[in-house]
Amino acid sequence: MVFSSSGYNPEKPMENRISDIGPRDFEEFYPPVIARNKGKWLYHEILEPGLLVHVAESGEKVYTLRCGASRLMSVTHIREICDIADKYCDGHVRFTTRNNIEFMTDSEEKAKAMKADLAGRKFSGGSSKFPAGGTGAGISNIVHTQGWVHCHTPATDASGPVKAIMDEVFAEFGQMRLPAHLRISLACCINMCGAVHCSDIGLVGVHRKPPAVDHEWTGQLCEIPLAVAACPTGAVRPAKVEVNGGQVKSVAINKDRCMYCGNCFTMCPALPISDGVGDGIAVMVGGKVSNRIGTPQFSKVVVAYIPNEPPRWPTVTATVKKIVDAYAAHAKKYERIGEWIARIGWERFFSLTGLEFTHHLIDDFREPAYYTWRQTTQFKF
């Protein structure tokens, strides 16, 4: 490899430096029909799954084709997206918060031609490159975190379980037959950088063992005070330990206080948190962020632990499917999962889904726990 300079001079980092310029102005990227009608949209309609039309006061229309995508995306795939956008959308495209791709055009014919074209595009292994859907009362794309692809504290992979689950519920991505929207998200550890705590179905990676302590290396690789300070529950303390007959400075972990967040490992690589046997996925349900009808809600844990079963996580996917099926069969129109459960009661949710209620599901973590126990004579047998 021959080093190719961008023009940056490492001897003088401030020379010719540009900083603090922020992102490009969004207005540069508007499709013309969007630029012309911004703030003057009258209404929209989902013509078929994945295809929307928005109608402006001017009478102009923009047709949007929404396609699913893996958020882990190669430049080769992005270039194919660009080819499509050049062919049908005058070189414009956008992405959604849920990692979908939106191709916009002002012509219905072009939109339909594009949809037919994209439906035929497959990856070498046979999966769709651009499945249309993610609209209306169905399951949209799963938002997720990095997992084993790039994170140092994950308790599970993200891209793999997401692929396996989306394969399982694929029919609901391309249809609009559920009682309401159903949003799934996945975070690969409890730090939840993906903030999955308000999803209809949230999957979260859980460690179940405190970190190992590599005493021989703790003092050499880490600054003990920083590892101690990193622990949110105060479970890490400095300790002198005997290694190979000599005393070394290391840390001790209070195993009863540790909630397996991995923050100490971030500061100190001699405190590994991952454990193939201990790690897995917890399932949460009933959260939402929309204010429609009911108020925003947190998701609640309904399965404490499912082991990691790569490559296709069959138990996790089956559990998600079970919840989706029970919801689809029993909820009333417009009820999100949490609103359905609020009506029927949690005891009924567990009997309808067949999920086992275990002691882990009764909150015992600090003050808010009490408010989750039942303080009424009203319940169902």
Partner 1 sequence: MAKHPTPKLDELESGPWPSFVSDVKQEAANRLENPGKIEHQIPPDCPEDLLGVLELSYKDGETHWKHGGIVGVFGYGGGVIGRYCDQPEQFPAVAQFHTVRVNQPAAKYYNTKYLRALCDLWDKRGSGLTNMHGSTGDIVLLGTQTPQLEEIFFELTHEMDSDLGGSGSNLRTPECCLGTSRCEFSCFDTQDICRELTMAYQDELHRPAFPYKFKFKFDGCPNGCVAAIARADFSLIGTWKDDIRIDQSAVAAYVGGEFPPNAGAHSGRDWGKFDLQKEVVERCPSRCMAYDGAKLRIDNRECTRCMHCINVMPRALRIGLESGASVFVGAKAPVLDGAQMGSLLLPFVEVKPPYTEVKEIIEKIWDWWMEEGKNRERLGETIRRLSFQRLLDVVGLSPQAVHVREPRHNPYMFFKEEEVPGGFERDLQAHRARHKR
Partner 2 sequence: MTEDQQKVVDFITGRSKTKFYFNDFLEVFPGRGPREVKKVLTGMVQEEILEFWSSGSTTMYGLKGAGKQGAAEGEV
Mask: binding to partner 2, 185-204, rule CB under 8 A, as x and -?
A: ------x-x-----------
Confirm or reject binding of residue 314 to partner 2 (CB under 8 A).
no
* Nearer to partner 2 (CB atom), residue 83 or residue 223: 223
The answer to whether 134 and 141 are in contact (CB under 8 A) is yes
R_g over Cα of the chain: 25
Closest CA to 165 of 315, 331, 299, 284: 315
Find the part of the chain contacting partner 2 (CB under 8 A) among 96-104, 124-132, 157-165, 214-222: 214-222
Confirm or reject binding of residue 14 to partner 2 (CB under 8 A).
yes
Supply the angle between the helices 314-330 and 159-168 in degrees, to the nearest 10. 40
Smallest distance, Å, CB 266 to partner 2?
Answer: 5
Confirm or reject binding of residue 58 to partner 2 (CB under 8 A).
no
The single residue among 220, 233, 358, 372 that binds partner 2, judged by CB under 8 A, is 220
Q: SS3 of 160, please?
A: helix
The single residue among 32, 91, 234, 269 that binds partner 2, judged by CB under 8 A, is 269
Gap between the Cα atoms of 154 and 278, Å rounded:
12
Residue 211, contacted partner among partner 2, partner 1, none, CB below 5-8 A by kind: none
Smallest distance, Å, CB 36 to partner 1?
Answer: 11
Smallest distance, Å, CB 262 to partner 2?
Answer: 11
244-262 CB burial, b ≥16 within 10 A, e <16 = eeeebebbebeeeebebbb
Which residues, listed in sequence order, are joined to residue 237 by a DSSP beta bridge?
A: 252
Sequence-separated (6 or more) residues with CB below 8 Å from residue 26: none
Confirm or reject binding of residue 225 to partner 2 (CB under 8 A).
yes
Binding stretches for partner 2 (CB under 8 A):
14, 191, 193, 220-223, 225-226, 230, 263, 266-269
